[in-house]
């Protein structure tokens, strides 16, 4: 309850407009991190009771609504298009991961639940999935989240309705990805195009936010 603790400290030391501003700014800045923490929803409800006429409420609310939606989706089942790869904990290389899928061509998205740019790309997934279907290419998501983020990984898959195949990388797969990156600095999101055998066709391709470039890359 770290956020509650911070607000309680603010209430202890601040008053009046200073407290209202700090409370509002804190909620807003934490919400835009897109970690979808339910605690922020509770604190927002408390803020509205404490400041029913606050000019800051509508700014915060725009960021709180996605958190509410996120948690509602957790009660739903996974989409029929979402598949967690069997025995994923024993997949030790990108080649092994791709071979598990049994597809002619695979578009790989390497991401993590803590990566804001990764999550921004997901907003363009409808266009991406349409393109991949036309180009006979399979979607594979590889999360590089640690074990303590396993639950969050599953939650994000539901939240963004991530269709395709999913793997959370173990240490060996992570080491293989770093090897493939070579001397380039390791950053995500990282999108790769491979053939069905796991051989890399193109080490860097565009994300769904640049769907026009990606279409040209797939056609080549």
CB 120 within 8 A of CB 33: no
Domain ranges across the chain: 2-73, 82-219
Its sign, for the CA torsion 7, 13, 16, 19, is negative
Could you read off the pLDDT of 54-70 as tens digits, one per residue? 999 999 999 999 899 88
Q: What's the pTM?
A: 0.78
**Residue range 168-200, pLDDT digits in tens:** 999 999 999 999 999 999 999 999 999 999 999
Q: Average per-residue pLDDT in the chain?
A: 94
Whether residue 197 contacts residue 116, with contact meaning beta carbons closer than 8 Å, is answered with no
Alpha carbons 64 and 70: distance in angstroms, whole number: 10
In 3D space, the residue among 178, 166, 44, 43 whose CA is nearest the CA of residue 113 turns out to be 166
pLDDT score of 34: 82
pLDDT band, residue 79 (cuts 50/70/90): confident
pLDDT in tens, 101-138: 989 999 999 999 999 999 999 999 999 999 999 999 99
Phi/psi for 44 (5° steps) reads: -65, -40
Tell me the CATH number of domain 82-219, given options 3.40.50.10540, 3.30.420.40, 3.40.30.10, 3.50.50.60: 3.40.30.10
Residue 31 burial class via C-beta count within 10 angstroms: exposed 0-12, middle 13-18, buried 19 and up: buried
Look up tokens 């279409």; give the residue: 215
């Amino acid at each position: 309850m770290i956020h509650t603790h911070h607000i309680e400290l603010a209430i202890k030391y601040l008053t009046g407009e200073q407290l209202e501003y700090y409370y509002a700014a804190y909620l807003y800045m934490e919400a835009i991190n897109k970690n979808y923490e339910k605690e922020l929803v509770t604190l927002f409800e408390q803020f509205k009771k404490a400041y029913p006429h606050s000019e800051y409420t509508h700014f915060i609310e725009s960021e709180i609504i996605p958190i509410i939606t996120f948690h509602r989706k957790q009660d739903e089942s996974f989409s029929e298009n979402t598949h967690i790869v069997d025995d994923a904990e024993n997949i030790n290389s990108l080649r092994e991961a791709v071979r598990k899928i049994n597809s002619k061509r695979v578009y790989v998205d390497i991401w993590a639940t803590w990566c804001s740019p990764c999550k921004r790309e997901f907003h363009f997934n409808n266009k991406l999935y349409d393109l991949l279907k036309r180009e006979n290419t399979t979607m594979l998501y590889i999360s590089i989240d640690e074990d303590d983020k396993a639950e969050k990984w599953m939650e994000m898959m539901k939240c963004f309705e991530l269709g395709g195949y999913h793997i959370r990388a173990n240490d060996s797969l992570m080491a293989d990805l770093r090897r493939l990156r070579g001397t380039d600095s390791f950053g995500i999101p990282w999108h790769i195009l491979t053939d069905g055998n796991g051989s890399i066709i193109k080490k860097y391709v565009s994300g769904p936010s640049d769907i026009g470039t990606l279409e040209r890359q797939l056609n080549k």
